[in-house]
Structure 1
């Protein structure tokens, strides 16, 4: 089997967030849901933490697979080629390292659901709202490229 050439490879998308625990994971999973056949999708964090269980719950509630999601640091990805590097939080946008092999860079700032206070149900409501906002953005982004 031969390696795909640059022209036959799917465009690569990297979603960046500070911790890679919620927003970037949601964006990755949702883009995979809507256009995983058209894009090679990843997510990473500037200061990677632990995948938030409420991220998993919010995604699984709407039938989005999460078993493949894993927190990753940005550093090993800096020399990789990406078609799109998309930051999903203001802090990541402000502190984003240069990806010299990225063609496009976009910023989609979303509220940090991990910062939500209150009971688990109250926090889950914030995760759901942010998930829905990301879902809407991903769908409109995919539609623009159809």
Structure 2
């Protein structure tokens, strides 16, 4: 969701990529929650960190609660930022309760991106 939100907000000045410590399928409820904001992530693929090995990034933002412990250093990032969000896929409940959690996470990530990734070199272009 963070990749889709960042690219939706800042695609003219940033190119967001995402990877994880446990790659797998993008959760259908993440796709649904993002579609509610007219952001299509159904073609996104959950990639492993090894996909980006040897590449350089200005910023590496780790958003999962266990990312700092599981992946404390990404050598391709000039600046690393850690911020924990609840993993909505780990929540039990009815489908509606789960979807509500995905929406909550989406909104929290969106707010965090807006509040924290309006970088000085981006502000003049926006």
TM-score, normalized by length of structure 2? Answer: 0.89
CA contact (8 A) 1:78 1:98 kept: no
Check conservation: 2:22, 2:48, Cα contact below 8 A. Answer: yes
**Secondary structure class of the residue paired with 1:45:** coil
Alpha-carbon deviation of 1:117? 1.1
Structure 1's 102 and 141: CA in aligned 2 closer, same or farther, altered over 3 A? same
Corresponding residue number in structure 2 for 1:74: 49
What residue is the counterpart of 1:36 in the other structure?
11
Residue 85 (1) aligns with residue 48 (2): no
* 1:105 and 2:64 correspond: no
Local SS of the residue matching 1:107: strand
Q: Distance in 1 between matches of 2:58 and 2:88?
A: 27
1:112-123 equivalences in 2 (<5 Å):
112-123=87-98
Check the 8 A contact 1:111/1:130 in 2, yes or no. yes
Unpaired segments ≥5 residues, structure 2: none
For each residue in 1:79-112, what CA deviation from the matched residue of structure 2 results, as whole angstroms up to 9, or x when unmatched?
A: 1101111110121111115322310000110001
SS across alignment from 1:85: strand
**Once the two structures are superposed, what CA deviation does each residue of 1:59-78 show, in whole Å capped at 9, x if it has no partner?**
00111121331111101312
- How many pairs were matched up? 121
Out of 37, 41, 55, which is 2:30 matched to? 55
Q: TM-score when scaled to structure 1?
A: 0.78
Query: How much has 1:144 moved relative to structure 2?
Result: 4.3
Q: Distance in 1 between matches of 2:27 and 2:63?
A: 16
Q: Could you report, residue by residue, the CA deviation over 1:20-76 in whole angstroms, capped at 9, with x for unpaired residues?
A: xxxxxx110000011011111100011112110000000001111213311111013
What is the CA RMSD across the aligned residues, in angstroms?
Answer: 1.3
